[in-house]
Amino acid sequence: MIAKIDPTAKPLDVDAIKAAREAYDALGETTISAEMYAKLLSLETLAAELKETEADKAINAVQSLKIKTTTKLYKGKKIKVNWTVKGDTSAIDGYRIYVSTKKTNSGYKYLAKTTKKYINHTSIKKNVKKGTRVYYRVRAYAEIDGVRYFSDYSTVGNRIWK
């Protein structure tokens, strides 16, 4: 099995490497040559490096996204928050939306998460009075190997709550 794996193949057959490791573990050390075992180790190292490279590409893709937020007010006290994304979105797992009643970049509270590129905001804290301007911002995230990576925050979208 080890001899049949081509280390120069694109893409590298990671499943074949795993199967070869399982077969080696099942057979034991006495039935395989030291040369084949060394090849197995180098294939496993190559597969691990490839996995790291793919993870790094995904992290960089998420962190380099540019997001622009817009809002629209509908009848019945509903604000629709939309966003457009520039960049490679293939690695993202979703978007996190934040809301604030302050114009500055402070005071934002987590509102929701979604995989869509919009959210309808119909409820706001009771202490927000009619006529108050509400600010929204969004950022994309991806979870890779149990760690969550984020894009920069989007532009700020705002609308007056009626």
Average pLDDT, the chain: 86
Do 97 and 136 fall into the same domain?
A: yes
Residue/partner pairs of 158-161 with CB below 8 Å, 24 or more apart:
158/71, 158/133, 158/134, 159/71, 159/72, 159/73, 159/79, 159/133, 159/134, 160/73, 160/131, 160/132, 160/133, 160/134, 161/77, 161/79, 161/124, 161/128, 161/129, 161/130, 161/131, 161/132, 161/133, 161/134
Q: Is the pLDDT confidence value at 30 over 70?
A: no
Between 47 and 97, the higher pLDDT residue: 97
- The mean pLDDT value for 93-105 works out to 90
* Residue type, position 107, single letter: G
Strands 78-86 and 66-74 come out as antiparallel
Render pLDDT for 113-129 as a digit per residue (tens, 0 to 9). Answer: 999 999 988 876 666 77
Q: Bigger pLDDT: 103 or 157? A: 157
pLDDT attached to residue 23:
83
pLDDT: which is higher, 90 or 29: 90
Its domain, for residue 106, covers 66-160
pTM above 0.85, yes or no: no
Do 47 and 78 sit in the same domain of this protein? no
State CA 78 to chain mean position distance: 28
CA gap 155, 85 in Å, rounded: 11
pLDDT at 9 over 80: no
Of the candidates 6, 30, 8, 27, the one whose C-alpha atom is nearest the C-alpha of residue 17 is: 6
| Pair (30, 97) in one structural domain | no
Are 27 and 97 found together in one domain? no
Q: Is residue 23 part of a domain?
A: yes
